Structure 1
Amino acid sequence: MEPLFALPPGVEPLLEPIRRLSSPLLPQPTSLEPSPPPMEGVRAVLFDIYGTLFVSASGDIGPADRGGRDETAFRAALEAAGGDAGRLPPGFSGSRRYREVIAAHHAAARARGVEWPEVEILEVWEEVLSAAGMAVDLPRLAVEYECRTNPVWPMPGLLEVVREVVGHGLLVGIVSNAQFYTPLLFPALIGTPLGELGFRPEFCAWSWREGEAKPSPRLFAGPLEALREGWGIHPGEVLYLGNDMLKDILPAHRLGLRPVLFAGDRRSLRLRPEHPHCRHLSADGVITDLRQLIE
């Protein structure tokens, strides 16, 4: 499925469950003090999604194990996607099989030399449902399950900040661990597709497209090349905002960007002081509210 910079026909059915299953989430304050970065010389801003532009109840995208709650979510999502949970094989656990398939895909990718692999979630669900001998609307299943297991909500100030940044003539993009439904969050929850906010496809990179996840530097390659070749913008003129020292700040630092840590939600803030690559790593700035980026 194409990233939604303009809504193509047929997408509306996938927006409905996102709206129906989402409700306001407030960020939980952290103990960090803000030190907003200087914006002088910045010509482009790249954003992370989960835990940065959107509050994430689980803190990140990914197959966290919540036990029986995940299986309840799977069965509800299956029914919503046209399946019949009553026809599942005895003892079949869709949520467990889901995690197993993701782990197997990751292991296979690592065996091919991919250090930070990412799955294509529709392939995962196809394999899960084939084991159950059932065919359903896979995109609907993926959206229904994700919204039940990882609820999200726009971070306070999202629209204001993006519009202000674009209004000042800066280019904006996204580099995020994501799946096909991630771009749908914008039209579903804020009523505006990415393109109408000023995001260009060439300045955005999604992990499911690349088959690799952050902190892989490959995820940044496309947007940085487009900024350099099309606009003469070099890495030192690009600010990158993310909530994870390993997945966001480290690769941005190594690539010569201006990394800024978003520390606005305790659930998603990942300082990782025990990690050898993060122990002495620092960002160029810290913000605890998106609006501090434009103050």
Structure 2
Amino acid sequence: MSDPLVELYRSRTSPLEAVPTEESPRTEPLDDIRAVLFDIYGTLVISGSGDVGTSGTESQPDAFLATLESVGLEHRIAGADGVAGFEQAIRDTHVEAKGAGIEFPEVEIREIWRLMLNRFEEAGQLSGSSDLTDEQIARLAIEYEVRTNPVWPMPGARDCLATLRERGLKLGIVSNAQFYTPLMLEAFFDAPPEQLGIEPDLCYWSYRHREAKPSRKLYELACDGLADMGISPAQVLYVGNDMLKDVWPAQAVGFRTALFAGDARSLRKREDDERIRGVDPDLVVTELTQIAESVAAGE
């Protein structure tokens, strides 16, 4: 029986097309690659925002109100005030985490929804939020995400994963994400990540560790997990669309890297950021199939 939250994702998404960039692919054979790790938003998945989270401000107030109505919450909240409350809850959580020494904190979005709704209920602008089940909170988070950040599989993603899996490479994820990200992948690919060949022990989702890229923490954790499998950092290719969040920290831990430049929405070259000065990916790919080709050529 299908997960109702997976079905919710399926019912709320519609096709998107990648927007071509002006980048030219730069590929070469990569030898001795034993694992390929991927970013999700903007790499394996087209994202309206190019990342996990909202893509713009115009639709957010209406989306917020529609989200509350989806679970029958009675309220007296203007859409813009709801969005502001949502964003304030995130900021407050970030401030608390930074006070605890986390430079790039990540939230657990279900906790944000509970915090925000409780604040509105305490202010007398909403009733019934304290009675919401965990599943209803999860539904709220998904309803808002799909309304504000349209997503769709990146062209070639399924074939890329299948080809790499068939060649016996270890596959994993290092991504800024929320609890609904694996559900999104299952909705798109008709199978949970592990059935796509993605190793559960090589999935590092920011919300689980409360720390987001460009922090190196997720990459360092990945190094540890790969070491347990007898795989060194130099035997890993990391694929992402952002020079700062993906290529920079991945190279810092010793991974080889591929900048995915297949969608103008998500390509982040960050040319004015001092942190990436001198950072150069091993590959620049405009189609995900080029990943498998480079790895195969080096075998």
Report SS of the residue matched to 1:66: coil
Match of 1:117 in 2: 105
Q: Distance in 2 between matches of 1:179 and 1:260?
A: 23
Residue of structure 2 aligned with 1:78, choices 58, 63, 68: 68
Structure 1 residue 220 corresponds to structure 2 residue 210: no
Q: Secondary structure at the match of 1:93?
A: helix
- Are the counterparts in 2 of residues 37 and 286 from structure 1 also a CA contact under 8 Å? no
Deviation at 1:92, TM superposition (A): 7.3
Q: Please state if 1:253 is matched with 2:243.
A: no
Q: 1:289 aligns with which of 264, 277, 287?
A: 287
Cα deviation for residue 57 of structure 1 reads: 1.0
Q: Is this contact kept in 2: 1:176–1:207, CA < 8 A?
A: yes
Q: Which amino acid aligns with 2:96?
A: A
Q: Is the 8 A contact 2:175 2:205 kept in 1?
A: yes
1:99: which partner in 2? 87
Shift of 1:223: 2.4
1:149 CA displacement: 0.3
Cα distance, 1:17 vs structure 2: 2.1
Q: Is the 8 A contact 1:207 1:213 kept in 2?
A: yes
- What is the percent sequence identity of the aligned residues? 45
Contact 1:203 1:224 in 2 (8 A): no
- How far apart in 1 are the matches of 2:273 and 2:196? 36
Matches of 1:111 and 1:62, distance apart in 2: 23
Equivalent runs, 1:201-220 vs 2, <5 Å: 201-220=200-219
How far is 1:21 from its partner? 1.4
TM-score norm. by structure 2 comes to: 0.90
**2:23 is matched with which residue?**
32
Gaps of 5+ in 1: 1-8
Aligned length: 282
- Give 1:173 deviation, angstroms: 0.2
Output the amino acid matched with 2:154.
M
- Correspondence for 2:268: 270
**Greater alpha carbon shift after TM alignment, 103-112 vs 144-153:** 103-112
Gaps of 5+ in 2: 122-126, 294-299
Q: CA deviation at 1:28?
A: 0.5
How does 1:150-169 map onto structure 2 within 5 Å? Answer: 150-169=149-168
TM-score of the two chains, using structure 1 as the length reference = 0.91
Are positions 1:54 and 2:45 aligned together? yes
Partner residue in 2 for 1:4: none
Deviation at 1:128, TM superposition (A): 1.1
Structure 1 counterpart of 2:180, one-letter code: Y
Deviation at 1:16, TM superposition (A): 2.2
Give SS of 2:258's match: strand
- Contact 1:215 1:248 (8 Å CA) reproduced: yes
Change (3 A) 1:44 1:143: same
Deviation at 1:80, TM superposition (A): 1.2
Q: CA separation in 1, counterparts of 2:110 and 2:88? A: 15
Counterparts of 2:271 and 2:94, CA distance in 1: 25
Residue of structure 2 equivalent to 1:138: 137
Paired letter, 1:75: L
Report how far residue 63 of structure 1 moved: 4.7
Q: Please give the residue correspondences for 1:162-177 in structure 2 after superposition, counting only pairs within 5 Å.
A: 162-177=161-176
Superposed CA offset, 1:19-60 (max 9, x none) = 121111111011110012423210000000000000001111
Offset from partner CA, 1:55-91 (integer Å, 9 cap, x none): 0011111355504x1010011111112323xx22578
Spell out, residue by residue over 1:250-277, the C-alpha distance to the aligned partner (whole angstroms, 9 max, x if none): 0011111001100000000000011001
Deviations 1:179-223 (A, max 9, x none): 000001122122111111111211010000011001111112232
Could you say what the CA RMSD is over the residues aligned between the two structures, in angstroms?
Answer: 1.6
Which whole-Å CA distance do the structure 2 matches of 1:61 and 1:26 have between them? 18
Deviations 1:93-131 (A, max 9, x none): 221111111111111111211111100101100011112
After alignment, is 162-171 or 188-197 more displaced? Answer: 188-197
Number of the residue aligned with 1:6? none
Distance change in 2, residues 1:89/1:144 (3 Å): closer
Aligned counterparts, 1:232-251, within 5 A: 232-251=230-249
